[in-house]
Amino acid sequence: MAKDFSWKSLFINDNDKDGESKQNTNTSAELPDEARFPTSVASPNIGSTGTASNVNITGNPFINEILDVYQKGFDSLNNEGFDFYELYKSVHAVGINNPQSYQMAFAMGKSLRPEISKEFLLDKSQYYISEIEKVFQNYDVIGNSKQKELSNSIVQKKENLSKQIADLQAQITKLQNDLQIKNMELERIDIDNKQMFLEIQQKIEANNLAKQKILESINTVVAGIKQYL
């Protein structure tokens, strides 16, 4: 049975409540004003319960949090009755690489839903994959947009300050003190924005990995269905 769940905010801080993100709403799972994100990162382990857990990626503190968002989002997509989701959970409970786990889960599904078939399960798996991809794309656009916005802001600040510095250099004698202050401001821009820039990049990387891991887990079951059913 479907559970109430809103995809968690990944890029919007608590103090960024109004405005910029409210248009980003997924059709199957409601998306509050927020965002999401990726690149090549190490693969997390998928637990026997079907949940990617305790992923330890050095230097990125957001992996576990965001992978948990995807897992809960996947859980929230579950529809009434036995379909791919229930088979996925059953297979993970017994063993994702065990052919018998697929047969057992399929037999259980048949007892609950006699009309169930291999084709039905594969078709339903595409629904879950598609919904996760939608959320990923939404978060990816927002994350990269915020990163670009921050980069542009830094560039603009540097350009503005560089122009002011150039103007001050023409009046070095009179404006020596002003020139020194502006140079100090210029030097502080990268330092002041370094942590924020790094945090956004880490969230982008974590989002990519979270999407990759949940889809790897799903696709393994899909492959198992194709091979063992």
- pTM, two decimals, is 0.51
- What integer is the mean pLDDT of 153-163? 94
Percent composition of the chain: helix, strand, coil (DSSP 3-state, to 5):
65, 0, 35
d(CA 75, CA 20): 28
Sequence ranges of the domains in the chain: 63-228
pLDDT of residue 172: 72
Task: Confirm if 179 and 165 have CB atoms less than 8 A apart.
Answer: yes
Q: pLDDT by residue (tens digit) across 65-88?
A: 999 999 999 999 998 899 999 999
* φ and ψ of 46, to 5 deg: -100, 120
pLDDT of residue 141: 95
Q: pLDDT by residue (tens digit) across 25-68?
A: 333 334 333 333 233 333 333 333 444 544 555 678 989 999 99
